[in-house]
Amino acid sequence: MANAVVILGAQWGDEGKGKIVDALTEKADVVARFQGGHNAGHTVVIDDETFILHLIPSGILHGNKICIIGNGVVIDPAALLSEMEELKEKGIELNHNLRISKNAHLIMPYHMAIEREKEKSKGNKKIGTTGRGIGPAYVDKMARTGIRVVDLLYPEIFREKIEANLKDINFLLENLYHGETFTVDEIYNKYMEYAELLYDFIDDTDILVNRYLDEGKNVLFEGAQGTLLDIDHGTYPYVTSSSASAGGVCTGIGVSPLKIDTILGVVKAYTTRVGGGPFPTEIHDALGEEIRKRGGEYGATTGRPRRCGWLDMVALKHSVRINGFTGLIITKLDILDGLDKIKVCFGYEYNGKVYDEFPKELSILENCTPIYKEYDGWKESTSGIRDFSKLPPKAQQYIQLIEESLGVSVDIISTGQKRNQIIIRRNHFL
């Protein structure tokens, strides 16, 4: 009996995980977010009302679920409180149902300043970050100079840590970047206001999650970004700063891998990427723009247009291996409706050599030529279909092609933005 299910992005993020988490939350008791920051945006449409969540798990839209922000997440208190306020304005209750890990690290104002200045200094070598301080917060975490949520509960310790950090930070901002510096008082006073507002939500979330699992409760672990943006297994350095693959669940929440039953990979029916970095199957002509418009491919957090391309089996095979997916979820199948031809990449060619495994070398990924197989499109609408057998035959064949190529079953198919536009072929939390 499965009671611990992980949902991860299998590509470069933006696969539609928010809707899927929302759909599966119906049978979950707890939804826990394990990594990333408020650079991620999960979009959920309920009765024609759109909710965009950045830090709080999508399960919050179901009133009787416990939502946990784990220790692997980095938190900007201002962004979190703003999100909480927006939810309250839309009638979503927040009390005991939201818990925040004491061990989660805080994004500080100087993290945002440093990130913006560093990106400016890189010129055309920019990573394409959101400038929200996520990367520098993770840097401080690894350098053991980070400030955690638990420090908000101890004002004297919190102030001492700010004082220690600002000595180096202000020197860097002033002498290297010629930017504005910070004072201890302005940060301390503002964050003490945040502490008062967040106090009732702070908890030992690792203890909570393990207790829920031991009690047999259904726990859904929610990731942000995607495997190809993982700090270790993505297209480094064009990646995020956290572990967005399956291993991040255990470290980002505090659970043993032995407690995880199911790992689901979310795959868009095509491929998208935001920001810089290699993208072998990117479509550079008018069709790429058409898919972007059809799919509404603009960042939920930043509004930046996403780069669009064909499905990439080389990259997906890498994701399947890294994560050990027990099932796949295909989203945005309806966006491919009406296309005459659909291409799928099964290899890369570079300097006369064919690669069927995902290369680690950035130079190969940036300069390779994708090897495609072309298939007839279904040229019919799949929008809103809820029964696999009612999909057009060629759409069914496309799903079967993915299953056979990756050796993993497709358990869920999304056929539109709305909560009920979904085909569930295999139930989880059974």
Q: What are phi and psi of 306, to 5 degrees?
A: -90, 145
Active-site position among 14, 76, 151, 312: 14
Which three-class secondary structure state does DSSP give residue 213?
Answer: helix
Asked about 318 being catalytic, the answer comes back as no
Residue with tokens 């939804």: 31
Instruction: Yes or no: say if 417 and 429 are a contact pair by the CB < 8 Å rule.
Output: no
Asked about 42 being catalytic, the answer comes back as yes
CA distance 83 to 89: 10
Q: Which residues of 25-49 are buried (b: 16+ CB within 10 A; e: fewer)?
A: beebbbbbbbbbbbbbbbbbbeeee
CA distance 18 to 11: 15
Instruction: Yes or no: say if 240 and 231 are a contact pair by the CB < 8 Å rule.
Output: yes
**Other residues' Cβ atoms within 10 Å of the Cβ of residue 87:** 18
Q: What are phi and psi of 221, to 5 degrees?
A: -100, 125
CA distance 423 to 105: 38
Q: What are phi and psi of 414, to 5 degrees?
A: -95, 130
C-alpha distances (whole Å) from 154 to each of 111, 241, 406 are 21, 28, 50
Active-site position among 22, 29, 38, 42: 42
Closest C-alpha to 55, from 128, 105, 109: 105
Point out the residues that are catalytic: 14, 42
